[in-house]
Amino acid sequence: MSNIFAENLNKFYPVAIKEPGLAGTITHFFRRTYRSIKAVQNVTFEIAPGEVVGFLGPNGAGKTTTLKMLTGLIHPSSGTVRVAGHVPFLRQEAFLQKITLVMGQKQQLLWDLPAMDSLRINAAVYNIPDQEFHTRLGELSEMLSLDGKLNQPVRKLSLGERMKAELLAALLHRPQVLFLDEPTLGLDVNAQVAVRDFLREYNQRYQATVLLTSHYMADITALCQRVLLIHQGQLMYDGSLDGLLESFAPYREVHVELALPLPKEKLQSYGEIQLLDGRAVSFMVQQEALTRTVAQILADLEVIDLKVTEPPIEEVIGKVFQAGVI
């Protein structure tokens, strides 16, 4: 059973075409012509309960449009979508009780009031009994390290504290499905780590389903074992991060520190040389030849240190988008 289900999801926007000049303006006023912008095209995927999935794509790829269809903010042009057993765009109360949408660049807390006042409003909106409100507030405050901060005006909180308070407000009704759009946007490294740790703990404690978009790849690698890649409105990849590396990054980098410097001619047979600086050498080696090549290097050369690394995930995904196909 899936908590998020999308099949052949499409969203097209009609955009008016206007020719330049006075004649174009008059024509545009009386008789408009339109072209169709394909924001999302035939997107199909399923996400199981408790799964944390990364949703990646360049700006304008269709990520936010897809999230808006999944949360019921906009109506799909065609296709089928169900979230937590509901049709999102019907915006039924039972559906809204089961989901939340957190956008890193948006806020729901009132700027000049203590966060606690906004939280009480949220509790009233979601019909959370007073005792249950205090229980949930205590749990989330402890998980987010916000004790003593919620009675301060929101404007006096640091950016990291405000983001944590926004998360608390968004999760107070304990939703089954979390849609997170850039939840660590603009945060410093320590605040990013704190938010990731909280989301991981929340997922494990409540088995919440999470669909996460982020331009910080550390968010994805820390939280998601599965990723969806969207480009120009089309889903390009649906699978594991490891599978993405294996299919689109068939090389590994082998870093070697030698006991003595060697000429380039004696090293070329081990792989494509990326760096040769004195005793330090880096080779690009095909994955299927990695074990054999490393064994040969250790047998033939006097090695002080050897390290094998994967290409950065940002680089791999960048190549996927440049190629436009997997």
CA distances from 254 to 25, 282, 295 (A): 62, 6, 12
174 strand-pairing partners: none
CATH number of 4-10+40-245: 3.40.50.300
Q: Are the CB atoms for 23 and 216 separated by under 8 Å?
A: no
Tell me whether strands 78-83 and 4-17 are parallel, antiparallel or unpaired.
antiparallel
On whether the CB atoms of residues 231 and 61 are closer than 8 A, the answer is yes
173-185 as b/e: b if 16+ CB within 10 A: bbbbbbbbbbbbb
What pLDDT was estimated at residue 27?
82
Encoded tokens for 259: 């006991």
Instruction: Give residue 324's pLDDT band: very low, low, confident or very high (50, 70, 90).
Output: low
Q: pLDDT higher for 100 or 36?
A: 100
DSSP track, 6-58 = EEEEEEEEEEEE--SHHHHHHHHHHS-EEEEEEEEEEEEEEE-TT-EEEEE--
Q: How far is CA 253 from the centre of its chain?
A: 26
Reported as a single tens digit per residue, the pLDDT across 125-182 is: 999 999 999 999 999 999 998 988 999 999 999 888 998 999 999 999 999 999 999 8
Q: State pLDDT tens for residues 211-252.
A: 999 888 889 989 998 999 998 899 989 999 888 777 777 788
How many CB atoms are closer than 10 A to CB 145?
A: 14
- CATH code that applies to domain 250-309: 3.30.70
% the chain with pLDDT above 70: 98
| Angstrom distance (rounded) from CA 227 to CA 56 | 7
Cβ distance 296 to 288 under 8 Å? no
Which strands, in side-by-side order, build the sheet including 78-83?
A: 33-47, 4-17, 78-83
Give the pLDDT of residue 1.
Answer: 66
Question: Beta strands of the chain (E only): which ranges?
Answer: 4-17, 33-47, 52-56, 78-83, 99-103, 177-181, 209-213, 226-231, 234-240, 251-258, 272-277, 280-286, 303-309
What's the pTM?
A: 0.79
SS (H, E, C) 241-271: HHHHHHHHCCEEEEEEEECCCCCHHHCHHHC
Evaluate whether 4-10+40-245 and 250-309 have a shared fold.
no
**What is the C-alpha to C-alpha distance for residues 110 and 115, in angstroms, rounded to an integer?**
7
325 has pLDDT over 60: no
- What are the residue boundaries of the structural domains of the chain, listed by start? 4-10+40-245, 250-309
Which 8-state DSSP code applies to residue 86? Answer: B
- Tokens encoding 184: 């660590």
User: First-to-last CA distance in the chain?
Assistant: 28
| DSSP 8-state class, residue 145 | T
Q: Would you say residue 319 has pLDDT above 80?
A: no
- For the chain, state the CA radius of gyration: 25
Q: Between residues 313 and 97, which one has the greater pLDDT?
A: 97
